[in-house]
Structure 1
Amino acid sequence: MTTKLIRTILLFLLSVSFHGIVISNQLKRHYYKSEPRIVGGFPANRNQTTFVASLRLTIEEDFFEFGAGHKCGASLITENILITAAHCLFVYYNGPFDKELRDPCEWTVVLGAYNRYTKEETTVVRSIQGITAHVDYDDYTFENDIALLFLNESVPLSLGVIETVSLNDQAVELNTSCQANGWGRVEYGGILADDLQSVNISVIDIDICNSTDSYGGELFDGMLCVGDLEGGKDSCQEEIQTTTPDDDNGSISITFSLILIITLVFGLSLV
């Protein structure tokens, strides 16, 4: 990875800042609970989630078992760089302002695994040699909740097994179809999913989410509001991609580009 490319990625992130908030089905406000969830989802299509990685605490992987240390999702954007939510990478002591960024050696990244407990022939495990969290990440507002993970060794890319995802550089229109992927909880208070899950959601007008009977202006410039106004579908602490049909010689395929990282959720599917 050249210094020029790293600087380009960092400049892109600083200028376009990805954020996300997923709403509950009636847009009512609830106490924030930070736990990974994929509510109302379905088993992911392996061919469409080849860039999804599992970010794990190494000590829990070693002490318990492979898969037990999963904390957050991440997305592979180059052969040795991933993107994830900054809030996943800190140790919090006495509130959001009393925190410490975990050392890179505390983390393990797993790619090419569908079931988080199963190490397949295609599974690749890497250590992290560097972490760059957004310099303006705010624990209170969750603005700029984004970070880059630099692997100790490049990942061998393989079509249909492990691939990178492109970063979206276009404006995202209202009602754009999106898909969130992760190993989150499939129901409130439940256990983490064993198999990778997906949920289809859409971009919602931020004014709806910022209305007085929902989030009361807590979404800021640069944030997107995504979810399902009919309810029953939510996501937390996972990556979201746009889905775009491509007509190639009469056949329809789906391409993805990363548009945001889930960072803030109130009361997923509670009402």
Structure 2
Amino acid sequence: MFSNLPGQQQGRIIGGYSPAPYSITYLVSIQTTVGQHFCGGTLISKSWVLTAAHCNIGIVAGDYSVGIYEGTEQYRMPRLLITYPQYNRTTNNADIMLIKLQAPVILNSYVSIAPLPLQGADTTEGHVCRVSGWGFTTPSGGIPSTLLTVTLPIVSSTACNSTSSYNGNITDSMICAGYAAGGKDACSGDSGGPLVCDGRVYGIVSWGTSCADPRYPGVYTAVIKLQCYFNPALNLKPC
């Protein structure tokens, strides 16, 4: 997907590696009705998936090799979509959504839940986090058959918003991650997937300019800034 900002790519793993099979078990593949992967998501309970607001159709949990039936998959259709009210398709602000599944998944060796950040927690510049997905492996394309993962350091909002980078387009509900030298990043098809820091989902793959470009880190929805809105649906205490 492409948005209206020049050069901005939505969906956006480059420079990563294949983790041990079924070692990242909270990640789900969001697919079209004909089984084509187009986004990632995170199981945050047996019945709820956290993803980007521009991602939804069918959910596959327990997958490792997309397009190959391995017997570990659990297929679910969405029952309810809850998008953050201030989501803006043009700026990608508040690019976050909850998907309630028609039936809960069964937790096992292949399917698990990732916790949300603790209230008041935050990411700091240089903190290394992990992003995973089945997205493009090069800026020009190339979809992997198996899951890929990469670790990336958090980039300060000041640097990410500088005139040599995103020039003021990074809002308070976004965080950036990437290396100054580039070469490692999320890319098209990874959208909606989790940026996991210290075992918790702090970010959602949202958008960026190109992929793995040293000038432009990947941009993620800052879960901690928006999660209070979803607490009632998740039966969590209000913030």
**Matched-pair contact (CA < 8 Å) for 1:30–1:267:** no
Equivalent residues in 2 for 1:66-85, closer than 5 Å: 69-85=36-52
Measure, in 1, the Cα distance between the counterparts of 2:23 and 2:146: 14
1:81-103 Cα deviation digits (max 9, x unpaired): 000000224xxxxxxxxxxxxxx
Shift of 1:270: 4.5
The one-letter amino acid paired with 1:240 is L
Do residues 168 (structure 1) and 129 (structure 2) align? no
Equivalent residue for 1:269, pick from 196, 212, 222: 212
Match for residue 148 of structure 2? 197
Measure, in 1, the Cα distance between the counterparts of 2:101 and 2:150: 28
Shift of 1:136: 0.9
Match for residue 224 of structure 2? none
Measure, in 2, the Cα distance between the counterparts of 1:216 and 1:52: 32
The one-letter amino acid paired with 1:132 is I
Match for residue 40 of structure 1? 15
Measure, in 2, the Cα distance between the counterparts of 1:48 and 1:173: 26
Higher relative contact order (CA 8 A, sep 6+): 1
Match for residue 7 of structure 1? none
Structure 1 residue runs of 4+, over 3 Å off? 45-48
Q: 1:201 to 1:34 in 2, by over 3 A?
A: same
Do residues 239 (structure 1) and 194 (structure 2) align? yes
Q: Report SS of the residue matched to 1:207.
A: helix
Q: Report SS of the residue matched to 2:177.
A: strand
Shift of 1:47: 4.7
The one-letter amino acid paired with 1:73 is G
Match for residue 50 of structure 1? 25
Structure 2: gaps of 5 or more residues: 215-239
Shift of 1:33: 2.5
Greater shift, 256-265 or 119-128, is seen at: 119-128
The one-letter amino acid paired with 1:53 is V
Alignment TM-score, normalising by the size of structure 2: 0.80
Measure, in 2, the Cα distance between the counterparts of 1:50 and 1:196: 11
Equivalent residues in 2 for 1:177-256, closer than 5 Å: 177-236=128-187, 237=191, 238-242=193-197, 244=198, 256=199
**Matched-pair contact (CA < 8 Å) for 2:11–2:206:** no
Measure, in 2, the Cα distance between the counterparts of 1:72 and 1:34: 10
Do residues 151 (structure 1) and 101 (structure 2) align? yes
**Matched-pair contact (CA < 8 Å) for 1:44–1:181:** no
More strand by share: 1
Measure, in 2, the Cα distance between the counterparts of 1:260 and 1:113: 21
Structure 1: gaps of 5 or more residues: 1-28, 62-68, 90-106, 245-255
Shift of 1:48: 3.6
Shift of 1:182: 0.3
Q: Which has the larger radius of gyration?
A: 1
**Matched-pair contact (CA < 8 Å) for 1:109–1:127:** yes
More helix by share: 1
Q: Give the CA RMSD over aligned residues.
A: 1.7
Shift of 1:163: 0.4
Alignment TM-score, normalising by the size of structure 1: 0.71
Measure, in 1, the Cα distance between the counterparts of 2:173 and 2:212: 24
Measure, in 2, the Cα distance between the counterparts of 1:221 and 1:115: 35
**Matched-pair contact (CA < 8 Å) for 1:179–1:199:** yes
**How many aligned residue pairs are there?**
204
Percentage of matched positions with identical amino acids:
27
The one-letter amino acid paired with 2:49 is L
Measure, in 1, the Cα distance between the counterparts of 2:116 and 2:210: 29
Q: 1:261 to 1:35 in 2, by over 3 A?
A: closer
Q: 1:234 to 1:142 in 2, by over 3 A?
A: same
